[in-house]
Chain A
Amino acid sequence: MAVAKRQTKKVNQMNSTRLGLQATVFSAILLTLPACTNLKSSRDVSDPGVPGRVLAVQVCSSCHGVTGESTSPAFPKLAGQQKQYLVAQLTDFKGHERRDSRGTEYMWGFTHLSSRQVDELADYFSSQTPMQGHAEAADAGMARGEAIFRQGIPDKGVVQCASCHGAAGEGQGTFPRLAGQHANYLLEQIKVFQLTDQRPRGAVMKQVTHELSDADAAAVTRYIASLGAAR
């Protein structure tokens, strides 16, 4: 038993030495790796040399889709989004000024984007075929949603969406395109505007949505999601 233990100890010591040697060789290899950049397919969000278009397809597309048509409603569609709006949001994520939970969880890592990269990313998504609508049956809820979108709810101070976001929900400048956006994402953002100050740049929406009931918010977001060319 004692002999076996001594043997095991010796084997352990030999193994420790071997692990140390292997680690040294591995480390030497790893030391040479930083030089191995691959700008055509890099996923390095801290390298200002990576073109925005490369980051868009290599990184952003993982959630937002290569065509800007995200599959999951957890992530907003970006296809055909207004360029100025995209630049503003990327700037706010970069500076950690947009603080809603989804934004912080997924977007706060993009702190090293250069101005050029932000501009190129915004170009990439804004120049895409605009996001497509989700076909919905015409019912009372859709009619209510359309009424809020086009006329607002004057007695509650809810301004019609179309006044800033356009008659077709196409957006303009820093007012985002809404037509065809995921209803779930829109609803989540309405709650952020209503209940928090986590999107300071969108402070105007706090007043607009202040008196919007949950049922009306659901109706108008469902209507907006149906706008645009059908899927």
Chain B
Amino acid sequence: MNTIPRFETLLLFLARLIRWRVSAIGALCTGLLLSLVLCEPAMAVPSFARQTGQSCVACHAGGQFPELTPYGRLFKLTGYTMGERTNPLAMMLVASATTTQNNDSGPSAPHNTLNGPAILDFASIFIAGKASDNIGGFAQYTNSFYDSQDANGVWHNRFVADNFDLRYADRSVDANRDLIWGLTLHNNPTVQDVWNSTPAWGYPYVSTTQAENGSLPAGTLLEGGLAQHVAGVGGYFYLNKSIYAELTSYQTAKNSLSFLSYGNQPGDTTNPLVQLDGNSIYWRLAYTKEWDAHNIMVGAMGLDAKVYQNDTTTTGLPLTSLGSTHYQDVGVDAQYQYLLAPHALTAHFRSVWEKIDDATGLVYTDGPANLNSTMAKVSYVYRDKYGGSLAYTKVSGSPDTTAYGGLGPQNVPDSERWTPELFWLINQNTRLGAQFNLFTQYAGASSNYDGAGRSPGDNNTTYFYLWTAF
């Protein structure tokens, strides 16, 4: 028996939630507000637009947030410091409805517990803006209203740290040289990146959280495996709008840095904090060029990380005595944009290769493993209003009975998905969209992937969303 709260009930619930959390986030909000020198009355626009006085389309290609324009990338690289200090608070709401094509087949049915009704999916609060001439940041905390369901069918919410990026940046520029450099503290490898071909801000920009098999069954560590579990301190430079280089070191976001991983904590068996074995190094190189209304980027990135496995049944703590799982990721990516009114076209490509050596014997048991993940996407927006996109995502890897045994008899993650999407920017803060996940392969098979008659197409999802920020 499922309990599906009505929309009004959810709003009341949100109000209660804000009261509950006031002790935790109140000091942060109050302190930030007090620190504002040029505080303005809150307006119905997000804080970056308030800071720059510019429209969303200045920084977001065709207004399709969070996809960045060349100017938006410079805004981020210079530490979110262009403009004036102003009210840094903003909020975001996402309401959605997801339907799974075949929700009833197989032993794990239903695959999508809600399957159909519109829900208020999640709400975020942002503290984003410039703090000084060289320091600015972007901090997002999110409440997911349908995070988990208990044995009685009651849904429970979860309030967590989301994207976080605090920067110190400077720019030395004259007719001969343009050097932007900076330092960043953030909580997810690539959340600091300015090209949407990288995972953290990559496509899909919003997607269903409800369908159990609505996403690919595996992904590399670089593609979100450490998100909101780690604290990264990195340095970067961008020379002559041409060469970008960055080096970041990650460690577990705990103790004084636990605000970066809020919601994932040691001792919590449901949401334990991922613990790194030592520091992890991330590197990034990119070459960019602009001509007329076109711009391109080709780049590469890598991550080397050793991760302890957590005891998720009793203690919620890392099993350090078993050693760690070693992930070595290398990726290439590219982006092309054509931005000239009334057209905004963006194409992305990314491929990541991962080598895994699991000393713990808990995740992979059939020897050293490898995983490859590929994403290609093109989107077009007309008059900053009407848009569409088509994405192709694929994952493949070596067979492993432990890692992939639950997917199907082939013990592989190999899956392939097409994602067409149509959207309408009702205004610059609000997007209404329909996104379709179409699987052509799942768990290594194009039919009967689970040995019980379920086909990849049964996992197809239809996802309608309303996304607004204010």
Contact = CB atoms under 8 A, between A and B. Distances in A.
Interface of A: 4, 7-8, 11-12, 15-20, 22-24, 26-28, 30-31, 33-34, 36-39, 41-47, 57-59, 61-63, 66-67, 71-74, 101-102, 104-106, 108-112, 184, 188
B293 A23 contact: no
A38 B78 CA distance: 13
Contacts of B38: 46
B340 A184 contact: yes
Given A8-B270, A44-B83, A109-B54, A22 B341 contact: no
Contact of B28 (A23, A39, A101, A111): A23
Contacts, number: 169
A63 B71 contact: yes
27 contacts: A11-B265, A11-B266, A12-B268, A20-B25, A22-B259, A23-B27, A26-B259, A27-B27, A30-B32, A33-B35, A33-B132, A34-B85, A36-B134, A38-B132, A43-B78, A43-B83, A44-B83, A45-B53, A45-B83, A58-B171, A71-B290, A72-B70, A72-B292, A105-B55, A109-B53, A110-B53, A111-B53
A92 B101 CA distance: 55
Contacts of A26: 28, 31, 259
Contact of B133 (A4, A36, A105): A36
Contacts of B26: 20
A70 B62 CA distance: 20
A42 B28 contact: no
Interface in B39-77: 52-55, 57-58, 70-71, 74-75
Nearest to A54: B173
A188 B341 contact: yes
A177 B118 CA distance: 56
Contacts of A18: 258-259
A22 B161 CA distance: 13
A105 B268 CA distance: 47
Nearest to A104: B55
Most buried by A among B54, B70, B270: B54
Nearest to B50: A109
B256 A22 contact: yes
Most buried by B among A30, A57, A184: A30
Interface residues of B, number: 60
A7 B82 contact: no
Given A11-B265, A16-B24, A26-B31, 7 more contacts: A8-B269, A27-B31, A33-B135, A41-B134, A72-B70, A73-B292, A188-B341
A33 B31 contact: no
B30 A27 contact: yes
Contacts of B131: 30, 33-34
Nearest to B294: A72
B54 to A, nearest CB: 5
A44 B83 CA distance: 5
A92 B265 CA distance: 54
Contacts of B74: 62
B347 interface: no
Contacts of A38: 132-134, 170
Is chain A's interface secondary structure helix, strand, loop, or mixed overall?
Answer: helix
Contact of B262 (A7, A8, A15, A44): A15
Interface in B97-137: 130-135
Nearest to A63: B71
B1 interface: no
B287 to A, nearest CB: 16
Given A19-B24, A19-B262, A73-B340, A30 B31 contact: yes
Interface string B227-266: 0000000000000000000000000000010110010011
Contacts of B258: 15, 18-19, 22
Nearest to A188: B341
A20 B54 contact: no
A41 B79 CA distance: 13
B172 interface: yes
Contacts of B292: 71-73
Nearest to A50: B133
Contacts of A57: 173-174
Given A58-B173, A61-B173, A34 B132 contact: yes
A105 B58 contact: yes
A34 B35 contact: yes
A73 B54 CA distance: 19
Contacts of A66: 173-175, 178
Contact of B171 (A4, A16, A41, A110): A41
B23 interface: yes
Contacts of B175: 66-67
A188 B35 CA distance: 42
A108 to B, nearest CB: 5
A67 B256 CA distance: 46
A227 to B, nearest CB: 18
A108 B54 CA distance: 6
Most buried by A among B37, B53, B175, B262: B53
A38 B131 CA distance: 12
Interface in B161-183: 170-175, 178
